[in-house]
Chains A and B, each alone.
Chain A
Amino acid sequence: MANGFTSILTKGDELLVSAMEHHSNIVPWQMLCERTGAILKVIPMNHEGELLIEEYTKLLSGNTKLVVCNHVSNALGTINPIESIISLAHEVGAAVLIDGAQAAPHIKIDVQKLNVDFYTVSAHKICGPTGVGMLFGKEEWLTKLPPYQGGGEMIAEVTFEKTTYAELPHKFEAGTPNICGGIAFGAALDYMNSVGFEAIAGYEKELLEYATKKLLAIEGLRIYGTSEHKTPVISFNIEGIHPYDIGTILDKLGIAVRTGHHCAQPVMDYFKIPGTVRASFSFYNTREEVDILVEGVKKAKQMLS
């Protein structure tokens, strides 16, 4: 996408990203700004880990060409109000790209209703294989964007004088596609739909509430990302203990958590912490597993204090 926008943005154009992006939704845009002279601006957040929509509104102007934001923060679990983000951007004529990597496994996504210009999903976050993902784009935008890779299968006609490109979506699919990945991704989506996103969201909400309550009962434990609108992700630290230490002990207890900056260093800088311990739940997790986690965290705290 960032490559595609190279031919659309010019010097002085503005691109907004949120303060809670994964590095993968920051770095390509910074590189785009370096190539084009466009300016990157940041939509700030508050201590609950929620974007400040008023500030966002102030940042929007006729110069804003693109707004990029995640649907759900991987580091905090916040579900961002993308409906407002999209409609406000459209008022100034800016396009919106939503990174849905963390939302897709938890929330039913309706790109038509959202009226979003671009929406991306990674297959491996939604029970699918690695190395494949999905980009939704409005036809008018995809027509405007040039091919980002040249090769076989993406052409209409090739002569040494000039090449014309194939119709959508083929102009973006140079070479032999990841066929196996595509089929497996399809099977994963069928499976997720058969479980049902309403059922998933309802179950996960209960699990999140249960885990939040039990973890907060541990003295000294602080949760980062305390918005009311969250997917079942709990990013936390215990006062005076390094997240890696907790992660190491939990790992030895057979509990899988992620520790570190979660590829979202600006979020860690905002909270002035080196990282967090992050427990991510899904529809296949149980209350018993939450109990095991809580006992593990208590054990780690006791060992490390």
Chain B
Amino acid sequence: MKIEEIQDEIVEEFSMFDDWMQRYEYMIELGKSLPLIEEQYKTEDNIIKGCQSKVWVHAELKGDKLIFTADSDAIITKGIIAILIRAFSNQKPMDIIEANTDFIDKIGLKEHLSPTRANGLVSMIKQLKLYAVAYQTQLN
């Protein structure tokens, strides 16, 4: 699936819930399905700066596609990174670089996060895109 299609799918899933509580519960569920980063990659270098809780992300190129794995010590944060990884993992670096991230606003995620968590979300997206840029350079 293309990034855009996955994003639409996520937006649709979130629109089924009536209130924020259900959305949070769903986010917590998604956190549990997060493709976990291998312990060896849980290093200081792989911690995303700007998050209040610890978030580690690792990226690996398989063929021409970038695979992300991650983890966090906070479960809601895990849900957030799981949503992002679902949208961006197993995609070509160039597609990740060019991807629009409006779907975050459509889910209503940002408005339900505290300012520090919302900043963390922006840092996560930035980090995923930076990985894509780095691997795109390798592919060139």
Q: Do A and B come from one complex?
A: yes
Chain B contact-residue range equals: 10 to 19
Which of B25, B54, B114 meets A248, CB within 8 Å?
Answer: B114
Q: Determine whether the beta carbon of A303 is less than 8 Å from that of B25.
A: yes
Q: Determine whether the beta carbon of A304 is less than 8 Å from that of B73.
A: no
Q: Which residues of A contact B74 (CB under 8 A)?
A: 242, 244-245
> Is B52 among interface residues, defined by CB-CB distance under 8 A?
yes
The B-contacting residues of A in range 265-305, CB under 8 angstroms, are 274, 303-304
Contacts known (A242-B53, A244-B52); A274 close to B73, Cβ less than 8 A: yes
Q: Which residues of B contact A181 (CB under 8 A)?
A: none
Q: Which residues of B contact A244 (CB under 8 A)?
A: 52-53, 74, 76-77, 117
CB-nearest residue of chain A relative to B77? A244
**How many residue-residue contacts, CB under 8 A, span A and B?**
39
Interface residue SS majority, chain A: helix
Give the Cβ gap from A32 to chain B, nearest Cβ, in Å: 29
User: How far is A247 from B113 in the complex, measured between Cα atoms in Å?
Assistant: 11
> Is A82 among interface residues, defined by CB-CB distance under 8 A?
no
User: How far is A249 from B53 in the complex, measured between Cα atoms in Å?
Assistant: 15
Q: Determine whether the beta carbon of A249 is less than 8 Å from that of B24.
A: yes
CB-nearest residue of chain A relative to B73? A242
B1-32 vs A, CB cutoff 8 Å, 1 = contact: the mask equals: 00000000000000000001100110010000
Contacts known (A244-B52, A304-B28); A252 close to B20, Cβ less than 8 A: yes
> Is B75 among interface residues, defined by CB-CB distance under 8 A?
yes
Q: Determine whether the beta carbon of B73 is less than 8 Å from that of A248.
A: no
Contacts known (A252-B20, A252-B112, A303-B25); A245 close to B52, Cβ less than 8 A: no
User: How far is A303 from B24 in the complex, measured between Cα atoms in Å?
Assistant: 9
CB-nearest residue of chain B relative to A252? B20
User: How far is A221 from B76 in the complex, measured between Cα atoms in Å?
Assistant: 19
Q: Which residues of A contact B113 (CB under 8 A)?
A: 248
Identify 7 new A-B residue pairs, CB closer than 8 A, beyond the known A244-B76, A247-B114.
A245-B76, A248-B76, A249-B24, A252-B20, A252-B21, A252-B24, A304-B75
- Interface positions of A (Cβ within 8 A of B): 241-242, 244-245, 247-249, 251-252, 260, 274, 303-304
